[in-house]
């Protein structure tokens, strides 16, 4: 496997850091290849705007998708975006490693998606969902969060973690064609004992090796929808 | 009403820009007060880290929540964060005005939440949900998105917009105590005719005036949960 890890945590000594280092070591030892974009370490700039481009299609009105399509045609992406696009093309597996902040991606990682998943090259013109650009590749979230599992259950105070991650799993990964694997979750790492933490890190080191054989989340397919993008009554449940 | 609008769009001439300008004019004309944080216009820096603080609690390991609690005690927030905290304390109503990017907040707005909603002052120690810091205040999203309403329905291709906005409405607004009003949604503004666009802008100008009397989304309350933060069987549905 060629594995691309997007790592988003401001403290390299964090549990998130330990998970990414364990994944790299385990994958490399098993003969896989790994690239990592450590967003804090790279000083990634997450604000999407004219800086995304070296080209300008319309100088009087900034419409991002229009500029993205033009930059796709003209090779007009800023070097930081171009480098990420090349790593995405290279990989078979994409992993987002992050702490759940306000029930979503840290801004630095949301802005990696906002800037790198460009219309033209990555989606548009019928390329989306199971006909998406990354069809045949796999992606998943590896997430730490501050409360116990029960709090993130369907009847838990914070709501179902699968509902919370739906905009990422379905709206980001599946939208661009990835097969989406179940998330790897660690609850309240700060409350674990040292030996519990080591056990979870060892578990994750094994977990990443099973990426190729893990069953993806079953989402509906484009063929399950009518011309108005509403599911046909006989379609599978999502 | 004292209304605080967080506006997040890179193009001031956009439909989002027109909505915010219409809201301001309408509210001011009706005698309400308005403050606006135009995040792109301010050059808001959305990456959360040591720059959030003028104080340092632990120089050897960066744990954001620990630093936030310390900064709350020591008045140690960076000036850009302190200014937003003061506007939050001032307001009765908080509005997020944004285009739905990758089924969530643009990174610049996610990073406003990541940096400004600080543990200590804003949440923690039992202050959350219906016991939250902003109890009695109201908040809602005003969102533009690129597809028709059917595509964002429960059986639509993109998924239910209420599920997509759940991490924002429940996980951000309600978590810190706001009464959360239903979102104001505009689908595919780019496909509207000029007169349709003007009609939506006029509609929104009236909509914001009704903020005080609109019924909030009904979420469960802390009293509906047991000690493990799981809903009691006799609790209301969320």
What is the sign of the dihedral through the CA atoms of A38, A43, A49 and A53? negative
Contact A3, A93 (CB under 8 A): yes
Determine the average pLDDT of the residues in A175-183. Answer: 98
- Residue B41 tokens read as 């216009």
Supply the DSSP string of A54-119, one letter for each residue. Answer: S--S-TTS--HHHHHHHHHHHT-B-HHHHHHHHHHHH-SEEEEEEE-BTTB--HHHHHHHHHHS-B
pLDDT of amino acid B150: 96
**Given a cut of 60, is residue B235 above it in pLDDT?**
no
Please check whether residue B114 touches A, CB under 8 A.
Answer: yes
What is the sign of the dihedral through the CA atoms of A153, A155, A160 and A164? negative
- SS3 state of residue B225: strand
- ipTM of the complex, rounded to two decimals: 0.96
Contact check, Cβ <8 Å, A102/B175: yes
- Which residues of chain B neighbour A155 with C-beta distances below 8 Å? 230-231
User: How large a percentage of chain B has pLDDT more than 90?
Assistant: 97
Contact B111, A107 (CB under 8 A): yes
- Residue B156 tokens read as 């639509």
**Given a cut of 70, is residue B160 above it in pLDDT?**
yes
Integer-rounded Cα radius of gyration of chain A: 19
Question: Given pLDDT bands bounded at 50, 70 and 90, which one contains residue B238?
Answer: very low
pLDDT of amino acid B6: 99
CA distance A204 to chain B (A): 23
Contact B22, B36 (CB under 8 A): no
Q: In this predicted model, what pLDDT tens digit does every residue of B19-41 receive, in sequence order?
A: 999 999 999 999 999 999 999 99
- SS3 state of residue A14: coil
pTM for this entry? 0.97
The CA-based angle A60-A64-A69, given to 5 degrees, is 105
**Given a cut of 70, is residue A141 above it in pLDDT?**
yes
Report d(CA A102, CA A158) in Å as an integer.
Answer: 11
Contact check, Cβ <8 Å, B114/A107: yes
pLDDT of amino acid B234: 65
Suggest the residue from B39, B40, B64, B155 to mutate for an interface test with chain A (most A CBs closer than 10 A): B155
If 0-12 CB within 10 Å is exposed, 13-18 middle and 19+ buried, where does residue B96 land? Answer: buried
**Given a cut of 80, is residue A96 above it in pLDDT?**
yes
Superfamily of domain A2-224: Flavodoxin domain (3.40.50.360)
- Average pLDDT score over chain A: 96
pLDDT of amino acid B236: 52
Please check whether residue A166 touches B, CB under 8 A.
Answer: yes
**Given a cut of 90, is residue A237 above it in pLDDT?**
no
Phi, psi for residue A99 in degrees, rounded to 5: -85, 140
- Which residues of chain A neighbour B96 with C-beta distances below 8 Å? none
Contact B40, B10 (CB under 8 A): yes
Supply the DSSP string of B17-65, one letter for each residue. Answer: HHHHHHHHHHHHHTT-EEEEEEHHHHT-----SGGGBS--S-TTS--HH
Residue position matching structure tokens 């691309």: A4
Question: Given pLDDT bands bounded at 50, 70 and 90, which one contains residue A233?
Answer: confident
3-state secondary structure A109-160: HHHHHHHHCCECCCEECCECHHHCCCCCCEEEEEEEECCCHHHHCCCECCCC
Q: Which long-range contacts (CB under 8 A, 24 or more apart) does B197-205 make?
A: B197/B15, B197/B18, B201/B18, B201/B19, B201/B22, B202/B22, B204/B19, B204/B22, B204/B23, B204/B142, B205/B22, B205/B23, B205/B25, B205/B26
Contact B93, B3 (CB under 8 A): yes
Supply the DSSP string of B60-99, one letter for each residue. Answer: TS--HHHHHHHHHHHT-B-HHHHHHHHHHHH-SEEEEEEE
- Which residues of chain A neighbour B12 with C-beta distances below 8 Å? none
Contact check, Cβ <8 Å, B102/A10: no
Report d(CA A14, CA A25) in Å as an integer.
Answer: 17
Range with lowest mean pLDDT among A47-51, A96-100, B55-59, B230-234: B230-234
- Which residues of chain B neighbour A175 with C-beta distances below 8 Å? 102-103
Q: How many CB atoms neighbour CB A238 within 10 A? A: 16
**Given a cut of 90, is residue B162 above it in pLDDT?**
yes
């Amino acid at each position: 496997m060629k594995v691309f890890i997007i790592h988003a945590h401001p403290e390299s000594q964090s549990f998130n850091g330990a998970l990414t280092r364990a994944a790299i070591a385990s994958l490399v030892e098993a003969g896989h290849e790994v690239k990592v974009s450590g967003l804090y370490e790279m000083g990634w700039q997450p604000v999407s705007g004219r800086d995304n481009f070296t080209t300008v299609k319309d100088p009087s009105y900034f419409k991002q998708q229009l500029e993205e399509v033009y930059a796709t045609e003209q090779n007009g992406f800023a070097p930081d975006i171009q480098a990420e696009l090349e790593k995405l093309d290279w990989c078979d597996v994409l992993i987002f490693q992050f702490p759940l902040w306000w029930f979503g991606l840290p801004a630095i990682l949301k802005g990696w998606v906002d800037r790198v998943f460009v219309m033209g090259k990555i989606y548009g013109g019928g390329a989306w969902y199971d006909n998406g650009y990354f069809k045949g590749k796999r992606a998943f979230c590896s997430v730490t969060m501050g409360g116990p599992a029960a709090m993130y259950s369907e009847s838990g105070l914070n709501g179902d973690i699968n509902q919370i991650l739906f905009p990422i799993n379905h709206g980001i990964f599946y939208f661009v064609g990835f097969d989406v694997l179940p998330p790897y979750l660690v609850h309240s790492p700060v409350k674990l004992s040292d030996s519990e933490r080591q056990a979870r890190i060892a578990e994750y080191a094994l977990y990443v090796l099973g990426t190729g054989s893990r069953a993806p989340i079953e989402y509906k397919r484009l063929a399950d929808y009518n011309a108005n993008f509403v599911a046909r009554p006989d379609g599978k449940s999502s």
